[in-house]
């Protein structure tokens, strides 16, 4: 009961985050192709942010599978994650609006990093509360993807501070994280598949 | 479990898409009938887009009936569909704002076509994963409606590029697709009705 | 299954409608009491519209109780109702923005009337599909409230067309409908209470 | 059934409230750190309001645990609570926009107080309807937190009226309430834990 309601609330927040980002695509004044083309940075930022939030929804969904009971600590760790994810529309809009200037790229990297840390805190809170089932421990295993992401986020944050070229490094790092996680749940899914369930 | 959560998330996203479109109907500055009347292109675009998203929700709802288990591939095929549907408020607002100019009409047709392709990909992914039950195969049958829609979308996209008259052809094609699909689920529903269910 | 998903989608749309209306309360430029006080027409319009949507949610909730199975016709009758309800933020914002001018009041009355008709169509569609259980027939009974509302809506629509005083008559009529329906479900609730249910 | 749908609707409204508050963080025109830094009052207001709505969601979630059946009175007491919570984005945006000027701080305090009263009315309505189970009575106990909050809200409302320093007292009082309630459900949770449940 508790668990399904936390899922429903998280689904609602994530659904709204992923959808209101499109509101940053303001309808252009004119109606030519050039006006549409001028929106490309916002469209690109929207696509990558859509994928990011989609990855989080996907992982959240799998993570919740492993939880038996929701404690107060888990509820707040979950709200903390949703807080950082709720800033994606802002940094995404800023990055697009500024045509991927240096400061917005660093800001995007910071929000992406904080969301990743919040996700890690959520996982640890679940384990700390002893409410995970054996699937979670089996499923996490070596965290090669997590370590790669951490390095990539640091690149995404720092590189733009070093020079104009850093914006490109930052963008590549952020896209690489998205690509690496695009099929993020294979590990948990494989364990789930191997486990008989009703 | 998994399936009901994917449905809940999709419902949330579709509910938000269908509702934020109304935000493009900005409250007019004045309060006369002429100010309200000047909104007619936006109202018309809103009505047709509302019907489009309603059709997708309706079909999605029936499609999910036939799915037994949700895989990672199905989750991403579903997110891909939601991505294209999330662009409806933008192209709808642009088409209305520009009084149905040629470029926005083509853009609307492109988004409508991409959403249709994403829906097809979702159906194929479900079948490819072997997670559909027999209802889906029974229910799809000959895809006359799908073929008609494909032709109509091509008309909707190409006609405005050929001349000012093309805007009207585009609009007629898009409305025709909506009308054809307005009762889109009869085929699946008939099979469901013929199947005893608890 | 079908029914619970239609409820979830309707809940989502109604939750968004009721919440985005608050976006019409734009944060004032200044920070004095006079700037806040100047918002009173928007606040008043928000309160009455919140109550209207709340009444519809409440009634919808009770109506769905009586439905056994959802057909395609019921789905579309439901979407039709949601369409008219989705226009409340627009007419509410317009009425408030214009300090309850004559044309916006008539427009508000038209939307309120169309929503009421859409609700009636939904009820008739459920009965026509033979999918209601006996509770609905028992519960509707004489429709004194419905007839009162119809007269009030006609007053709300016509009075502002006749003169400036009509705006007040329109407002009184709309508030009266809200008050009459504020406890709208007693009839169905009484029948439900009298019926043993698991 | 009734109960789960009221929860779903409340979850939807709360998810939207908590998410649209981020829309007040308008993307800055420029792309320097100073433009981002200038947003700090809005960010601070967003953080505190996010925590407030999170606390209400959390408490609402626990409160609903204790309800057996939803009556018409409970539905309206719940809508009344959602109404006041829906004003948080407005007062939060106003407080941030005005750099925490005196009038917006008082307005924020008033909305926070009204939401607290609405929550109390909801609890009383549940008890009055005799629909709570024994958990609620056990769980509420002495209401030290509630009394502290009441005093803090009065400080938050009155202090800014007395002088410029009052804005700080108001801010401290509002943050203190958030901190006190951040782990608000221990009492109910403890009782729940002590109760065997399936």
For residue B139, what are the β-bridge partners?
A: none
The verdict on a CB contact (< 8 Å) between D16 and A17 is no
Give the other-Cβ count within 10 Å of A50's Cβ: 23
Q: Give CA separation, B36 vs B32, B122, C48, C102, in Å.
A: 7, 40, 22, 13
Task: Report the 10 Å Cβ neighbour count for D20.
Answer: 21
> Cα separation of C71 and B192, whole Å?
11
Confidence of residue C139 (pLDDT cuts 50, 70, 90): very low
* Helix-strand-coil split of chain C, %, nearest 5: 80, 0, 20
Q: Count of B–C CB contacts within 8 Å?
A: 80
Contact in structure between A31 and B103 (CB atoms under 8 Å): yes
User: Do residues D118 and D81 make contact, with C-beta atoms less than 8 angstroms apart?
Assistant: yes
The closest alpha carbon to A106, from A175, A160, A165, A177, belongs to A160
Are the Cβ atoms of B19 and C17 closer than 8 angstroms? yes
Which helix (H) or strand (E) segment holds residue C130: the answer is: none
Identify whether the C-beta of residue D38 lies closer than 8 Å to the C-beta of residue D96. Answer: no
Q: How far is the first Cα of chain A from the last one, in angstroms, to the nearest whole number? A: 19
The residue assigned the tokens 């192709």 is A33
Q: Residues D54-58: what's their mean pLDDT?
A: 87
Query: Measured between alpha carbons, how far is B163 from B151 in angstroms, rounded to an integer?
Result: 19
Statement: residue A46 has pLDDT above 90: yes
Q: For residue range D22-38, what is the model confidence (pLDDT) as tens digits?
A: 888 888 888 888 888 88
pLDDT 10s digits, A65-105: 788 888 888 888 999 999 999 999 999 999 998 889 889 99
Instruction: Give the pLDDT of residue C49.
Output: 93
Stretch among B32-36, B140-144, D62-66 having the lowest mean pLDDT: B140-144
Can you list the positions of beta strands (E) in chain B?
none
Model confidence pTM above 0.80:
yes
Nearest CA in chain C to D106: C33
Chain B interface includes C129 (CB < 8 A): no
Residue B108 Cα, gap to closest chain C Cα (Å): 21
Question: Which one of A16, A46, A131, A160 makes the best mutation probe of the D interface by having the most chain D beta carbons within 10 Å?
Answer: A16
* d(C-alpha C38, C-alpha D59), whole Å: 34
Among C20, C145, C46, which residue's Cα sits nearest to residue C100?
C46
Tokens 């004194």 sit at which residue?
A: C144
- CB nearest to B57's CB, from C9, C71, C107: C9
pLDDT at D110: 93
D59 Cβ under 8 Å from any chain A Cβ: no
Range from A6-15, A176-185, C70-79 carrying the lowest mean pLDDT: A176-185
Contact B98 A12 (CB under 8 A): no
> Chain D contact for C38, CB < 8 A?
no
* Element (DSSP H or E) covering residue A133: none
The total number of structural domains that make up chain D:
1
pLDDT value at C196 more than 50: no
User: What is the chain C residue with the closest CA to B55?
Assistant: C76
CA–CA distance, C110 with A65 (Å, rounded to integer): 48
Contact B61 C75 (CB under 8 A): yes
Taking the C-alpha atoms of residue D147 and residue D150, their distance in angstroms, rounded to an integer, is: 5
Range of the domain at A74: 4-194
CB of C28 within 8 Å of a chain D CB? The answer is yes
Residue D143 pLDDT more than 70?
no
- For residue range A121-159, list pLDDT tens digits in order: 898 888 887 766 656 654 454 467 778 888 889 888 988
Q: What is the pLDDT of residues B103-115, one digit of tens each?
A: 899 999 999 999 9
Radius of gyration of chain D (CA): 18
Does the CB of C87 have a partner CB in chain B at under 8 Å? yes
Q: How far is D95 from D92, CA to CA, in rounded Å? A: 5
Contact B13 A18 (CB under 8 A): yes
Question: Whole-number mean pLDDT of chain C?
Answer: 82
Question: Best residue in B10, B20, B31 to probe C by mutation, most C CBs within 10 Å?
Answer: B31
Residues of D in contact with A77 (CB under 8 A): none
**Chain C interface includes D103 (CB < 8 A):** yes
- Give me C123's structure tokens: 């009820």
For residue D72, the tally of other CB atoms under 10 A from its CB is: 17
């Amino acid at each position: 009961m508790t668990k399904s309601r936390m899922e429903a609330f998280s689904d609602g927040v994530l659904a709204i985050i992923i959808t209101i980002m499109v509101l940053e695509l303001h309808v252009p004044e004119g109606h030519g192709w050039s006006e549409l083309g001028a929106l490309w940075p916002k469209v690109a930022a929207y696509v990558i942010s859509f994928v990011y939030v989609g990855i989080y929804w996907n992982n959240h969904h799998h993570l919740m599978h492993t939880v038996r009971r929701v404690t107060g600590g888990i509820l707040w760790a979950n709200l903390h994650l949703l807080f950082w994810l709720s800033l994606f529309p802002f940094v995404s809009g800023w990055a697009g609006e500024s045509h991927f200037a240096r400061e917005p790229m660093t800001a995007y990297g910071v929000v992406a990093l904080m969301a990743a840390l919040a996700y890690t805190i959520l996982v640890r809170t679940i384990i700390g509360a002893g409410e995970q089932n054996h699937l979670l421990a089996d499923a996490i295993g070596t965290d090669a993807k997590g370590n790669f992401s951490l390095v990539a986020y640091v690149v995404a944050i720092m590189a733009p501070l070093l020079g104009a070229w850093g914006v490109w490094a930052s963008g590549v790092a952020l896209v690489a994280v998205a690509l690496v996680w695009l099929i993020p749940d294979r590990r948990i899914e494989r364990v789930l598949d191997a486990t008989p369930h009703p």
